[in-house]
Amino acid sequence: MKAFRYRLQAVQRLRDRHEHEATEHYAGALNQRAQASQRLDAAERELAANQAECSRLLDEGVPAGDLRHQQAFGSRLQDQCQAAATQLDQAEAHLNQALGLMVTARRESEAVQKHHDRAQSGHQMEQQREEQKWLDDLPASRTAPGLLG
Residue 149 pLDDT grade (very low, low, confident, very high; cuts 50, 70, 90): very low
CATH entry, 10-142, from 3.30.70.2740, 1.10.287.1700, 3.40.50.300, 2.30.30.230: 1.10.287.1700
**How does DSSP classify residue 148?**
-
Tens-place pLDDT, residues 90-133: 999 999 999 999 999 999 999 999 999 999 998 889 888 888 88
**How does DSSP classify residue 145?**
T
Angstrom distances, CA of residue 9 to CA of 99, 105, 126: 26, 17, 20
Q: Maximum Cα–Cα distance for the chain, whole Å?
A: 125
What is the model's pLDDT at position 144? Answer: 57
Q: Is the pLDDT of residue 140 over 80?
A: no
- Cα–Cα distance for residue pair 25/97, rounded to 1 Å: 10
Residues with Cβ within 8 Å of residue 39, at least 6 apart in sequence:
84, 87, 88
- Mean pLDDT score, 3-10: 86
Domain positions in the chain: 10-142
Answer yes or no: are the C-beta atoms of 48 and 137 closer than 8 Å.
no
